A = this chain, B = another copy of it.
Amino acid sequence: MDNVSIIAMVSIFTAGITMAIGSIGPALGEARALSQALNAIAQQPDEATTITRTLFVGIAMVESTGIYCFVVSMILIFANPFWNYVTRAGG
């Protein structure tokens, strides 16, 4: 169990778990906002345009935290500085 496999092991596990945990918040949050938007449209059909626009701008902000997790996850898999160091150093 040399350095290479330790770094690889931790990188794989962290990449997966970061994405997994990081999807819970945005998914539930966006769904809540979406759910409320549908309710608001049903109550005020005339405001559907304003509501929909606010909804999608807001969801984009909520999605951003999920994107951060995806970015961290991708960095750990494909652009991991620690991995580059140990593989360049010969492991």
Which A positions have Cβ atoms within 8 angstroms of B?
1-48, 50-52, 54-59, 61-66, 68-70, 72-73, 75-78, 80-83, 85-87, 89
Q: How far is the CB of A21 from chain B (nearest CB, A)?
A: 4
CB atoms of A1 and B4 under 8 A apart: no
- A39–B58 CA distance with the chains assembled, in angstroms: 13
The 3 A-B pairs with the shortest beta carbon distances in the complex, nearest first, are A29-B31, A25-B27, A14-B16
CB A12 to nearest CB in B, in angstroms, measures 5
When the two chains form the complex, which single residue of B3, B33, B80 contacts A35, counting CB atoms closer than 8 Å? B33
Listed by A's residue number, 7 A-B pairs whose Cβ atoms lie within 8 Å are A11-B12, A29-B31, A33-B38, A34-B55, A40-B42, A42-B47, A63-B65
